[in-house]
Structure 1
Amino acid sequence: MSMPEFELRIGIYPAIEPDRFLNSLSGKVALITGSGRGIGREITLALAKSGAAVAVTSRTKAEVDQTTKDVLNLGNGLRAIGVVADICNRKDQESLVNQVTESLGPIDILICNAGTNTFMPFHMTEPNSWWTQMEIMVKAPTELTRMILPSMQNRNSGTIIYTSSRAAATDLPWAAGYSCAKTAISRFAGILQNELNILQRDTFGFEDNGISIFSIHPGEVKTKLHQTAFPEKTKKEAPYVVEMMDKLAKMHPDFKGELAAWTCVYLAAGKGKGLEGRLVDCTRDIQQVKDHVLATPRPRITNACG
C-alpha cells in the first residue's frame, strides 16, 4: 500500500480541538522538560487545561516561575509546581523526579521536550559542543525514562513523549548533532515500545501493555531556539549556512506551538492507539494518519522513523 498524502495542519483542527479534551487528563501527573518557554510551555498549558497536574522545569528560574504561575492562574483547582533543574545532571534528575512525586504523585505522563541546536558544518564543530547536544536530547530523556518507567510498569499505565524532528529521517546539512540526536531518540522510542509490549505481558503478567511511547515532530515553530541556533562562528566563517536555512524557513508555513501541544494531549489522552512507538508528525492530520496505520498490516519489526 502506497503512502497517501495526509492533510497539512498548521494550528488547531477538529481532531485536536481543545474542547474535546476537557478533563480528559484529570487525575494525571505530567512532567514536561524544557517547559519554561516555547513549545514546552505550550504543551504544559494544554495538559493543564485538560486537567493534568503539571511539573514545569528548565534551567531558567524566571521562565519556570512564570509558566507555573500562568498554569495556576487558569484556576479550576489545577495543581502545578516549578523546579529549576539541569536535566543533564544526575543529581538534578533524581531531585526533580522526587519533588514531582512527593508534591503531585506518581508521574503518569513524561514529555521530554528540552532541546538545543547549532547550525554549523561538522568540520567546524567542537567535540564537547557536539556531544552536549546528544546529552540534552538523548542521554537526559533516556535517563529520566529509566527513573520513571518502573512505576509505570508496576501500574501498567503511562505515556512518554519525546520531542523529535523530521530531521530524524532526513539528511539535513549543518545540523549533524541535532539530527543524530533526534534519530537516536526516535529509534529509542520505537524499540522501547516493542520491549514493553513484550515485557508487560510476559514478565509483568498484564493482558496488554498499557504504556504508550511516542516521538513527535512538532513542526518548524518559530521559537527562541531558532534565533540562537546560529553562533557567531557560523555567521563569520560559514554564512552560506545562514543563507540556506533562511531559504528553507521561507518554504514552510508558520506552524503554531499549539499544534504540537494539543497533539500531545491527544496522545496522552489515549487517542493514539496504533501510533505507539512511531514518530508522529504533528503537521499532518493525526486522525488521517491513524486511520491509515490501522488499515495497514503491522510488520513484526516496525520502523519508528517510517
Structure 2
Amino acid sequence: MSKPEFTLRTDVYPAIEPELFKGSLNGKVAFVTGSGRGIGREIVLALARSGAAVAISGRTKSQVEETTQAVLSSASGVKAIGVVGDVCSRTDQERMVKEVTESLGPIDILICNAGTNTFMPFHMTDPDEWWKQMEIMVKSPTELTRMILPMMQKRNSGTIIYTSSRAAGADLPWAAGYSCAKTAITRFAGILQNELNILQKDTFGHDTNGISVFSIHPGEVKTKLHETAFPQKTKDEAPYVIEHMAKMAKMHPDFKAELAAWTCVYLSAGNGAGLEGRLVDCTRDIEEVKKHVTATPRPRITNACG
C-alpha cells in the first residue's frame, strides 16, 4: 500500500496551536540539550509557555544565559535554569542532570536536540571529526537516556524526544556522518520504545507502559548550524557540494522553528498515542498522520525509520 500524502505544514497550525496547551505541562520538568539557540531555544520557550519548568543547556554560556532570561521573562511564574556543559562529557552530563533535578525536580521530559553537521564528501572527512558527529548525536543522547530513564521507569511516566531528521531514511550526499547518526538515534528510539512496552509491564509490574519515546524531523529550518556546516576545506576543495546544497535548499519552503517546538509540546502533553517509537515528521499534519497510523495494522516488528 502506497503512503498517503499528508498536508504540508511550515509553521504553527490548528493541531499544535499554543492556546490548546496552556497549563498542559504544569508540574512537569523538561531538560532540553542544545537549547541555547535555534530550534532548541524555541522548544524551551514553547514548553515553558505550556507550564513546564525548563532547563536550558548548551556549551556557550552567553547563549544559555540569554535564552534562560528570555524564558523567565516570557510569562509570570515560569521556572527555568541554565546549565552549561559539553553533552559529550559524561562528567558534564552527570553534573547537569544533578543540577536540574536538585533545582527543579525529577525530569519528566528529556529532549535531546544538540547536533552538528558538516557537508563534505566522505573521502575528504577527518576520521575524528566524522566520529565526533556520532558522539554528539548518538552517544550523548543515549547516555543521557541511560542516566534519566530509571527515574521515569520508577514513576512509569515520561517523554523522551530525539531530534532526528528525514536524512535517517534518505541517502543524502555530503552528510554521511550526520545521516548515519540520525539513522542510529531514530532506530534507537524505536527499539527503546519496544523494550519499555515489554519491561514496564512484565518486569516492573505496571498495567501499561507510561513512557513515550519519539524522534522528530523538525524540517529544514534555517539556523546557524546551516551557516557553519560548510568548513573551509569544502569551500576550497569541493565547491560543487555548496552548489548542490544551494539547489536543494531552494526546493524547500521556509520552515519555522516553532513548528518543531509546538510539535514537541503536543507529544509531551500526551497526544502522541500511536506514534510512539516512530520518526515524527513535523512538516506533515500530525493529526492526519496519527489517524493513518492508528488505522493501519501494526506489524509485529516495526520500523522506526519508515
Query: Normalising by structure 1, what TM-score?
Result: 1.00
> Counterpart of 1:123 in 2: which secondary structure?
helix
- Please give the residue correspondences for 1:70-149 in structure 2 after superposition, counting only pairs within 5 Å: 70-149=70-149
Q: Does 2:292 match 1:275? A: no
CA distance in 2, matches of 1:207, 1:292: 26
Contact 2:33 2:40 in 1 (8 A): yes
Q: Write the mapping of 1:218-257 to structure 2, written as runs, cut at 5 A.
A: 218-257=218-257
SS at match of 2:31: strand
Query: Which residue in 1 is equivalent to 2:263?
Result: 263
1:44 aligned counterpart, secondary structure: helix
The amino acid across from 1:125 in the alignment is: T
Question: Structure 1 stretches of 5 or more lacking a match?
Answer: none
Map residues 1-306 of structure 1 onto 2, 5 A cutoff: 1-306=1-306
Q: Which amino acid aligns with 2:59?
A: R
**Deviation string for 1:17-40 (max 9, x for gaps)?**
000000000000000000000000
What per-residue deviation string (whole Å, max 9, x for no partner) do you get for residues 247-283 of structure 1? 0000000000000000000000000000000000000
Q: Secondary structure at the match of 1:269?
A: helix
Q: Which runs of 4+ in 1 moved over 2 A?
A: none
Query: Which secondary structure does the structure 2 equivalent of 1:56 belong to?
Result: strand
Q: Distance in 2 between matches of 1:20 and 1:75?
A: 17
**Contact 2:85 2:92 survives alignment (8 Å):** yes
Letter in structure 1 aligned against 2:102: E
- Local SS of the residue matching 1:255: coil
**Post-superposition CA distance 1:166-186 (Å, at most 9, x none):** 000000000000000000000
What is the Cα deviation at residue 190 of structure 1?
Answer: 0.1
Distance between the aligned counterparts of 1:150 and 1:164, measured in 2?
A: 23
8 Å CA contact 2:34, 2:58 repeated in 1: yes
In structure 2, list runs of 5 or more residues that go unmatched: none
Find the aligned partners of 2:95 and 2:204 in 1 and give their Cα distance. Answer: 28
TM-score by length of 2: 1.00
Deviation, 1:285, is: 0.2
SS of structure 1 residue aligned to 2:270 = coil
| Per-residue CA distance 1:136-169 (angstroms, 9 max, x = gap) | 0000000000000001000000000000000000
Structure 2 CA distance for aligned equivalents of residues 112 and 240 of structure 1: 32
SS at match of 1:188: helix
Classify the secondary structure of the residue corresponding to 2:216. Answer: strand
Deviation at 1:3, TM superposition (A): 1.4
SS of the aligned residue for 2:275 comes to coil
The structural deviation recorded for 1:75 is 2.7
Aligned equivalents of 2:99, 2:142: Cα separation in 1: 19
**Deviation for aligned residue 1:2:** 2.8
How far does residue 76 in structure 1 lie from its aligned partner after superposition?
2.4
SS state at 2:230 partner = coil
SS at match of 1:162: strand
Please list the CA deviations of residues 167-216 of structure 1 after superposition, one character each: whole Å capped at 9, or x if unmatched. Answer: 00000000000000000000000000000000000000000000000000
Identity of aligned residues (%): 78
Query: Structure 1: how far apart are the matches of 2:174 and 2:275?
Result: 30
2 CA distance for matches of 1:289 and 1:179? 23
The 2-side partners of 1:274 and 1:301 are apart by 15
Asked if the contact 2:215–2:278 (Cα under 8 Å) also holds between the matched residues in 1, the reply is yes
**Secondary structure of the corresponding residue to residue 195 of structure 2:** helix
* Partner Cα separation in structure 1 for residue 27 and residue 126 of structure 2: 45
